[in-house]
Amino acid sequence: MQIAILLYPGFTALDAMGPFEVLGNLPGADTVFVAEQPGTIRNDSGKLAVLADASLAEVGSPDIVVVPGAPDTSGPVKSEAVREWLTAVDRTTTWTTSVCTGSLILAAAGLLTGRRATSHWLYLDELASYGVEPTGERVVTDGKYVTAAGVSSGIDMGLTLAGRIAGDRVAQAIQLLIEYDPQPPYDAGSPEKAPADLVAEWRARRI
């Protein structure tokens, strides 16, 4: 079972690494980082470099595709090579997935039209411009398309998918082994829970 995680300059690290850590522990998983060209790809801070093992042309029929997000997705959204690859591999994938604003990349490729999907809360409204029905849920499954909300929700998406693929017990074992037991010191992880002035501040920065 090949799992292809798309990389591009400026991607958000946890968007890719959360699903990598979860899905990579599935029995028979063969995880590959893929980019337009193989080599090191730096994340949005520029401080982390991840090796893309293969080019898009070298990965033609993965079973699962994971598209991480970024603060700025204009690069992959505008990339004809990325759009064509996503459209091509989607014809045979079992699951096509995204984390955070990665859903905007899938939407730009026309893969989410008419479907329900989620994204980071700051970018959620952009989905509608692609003919997608936005929802604030943390993980959304619509057919074979699984989208996750912001950043850390990629772990939840990975576990959701692991359960669908290998069963609850395997997914629970993965959760146990990575000790994913969130107990944050603050309850401010969504715009509904965070202080209103903090939400307003970040919405203003986004404009």
Q: Which residues of 105-127 are buried (b: 16+ CB within 10 A; e: fewer)?
A: bbbbbebbeebbbbbbbbbbebb
CA dist list (Å): 84 to 20, 55, 74, 78, 175:
23, 13, 16, 11, 34
DSSP 160-196: HHHHHHH-HHHHHHHHHHTT-----S-S-SSTTTS-H
CB distance 99 to 15 below 8 Å: yes
Q: Catalytic residues, which ones? A: 100
Beta bridge partners, 141, equal 146
Read off the tokens for 206: 């986004």
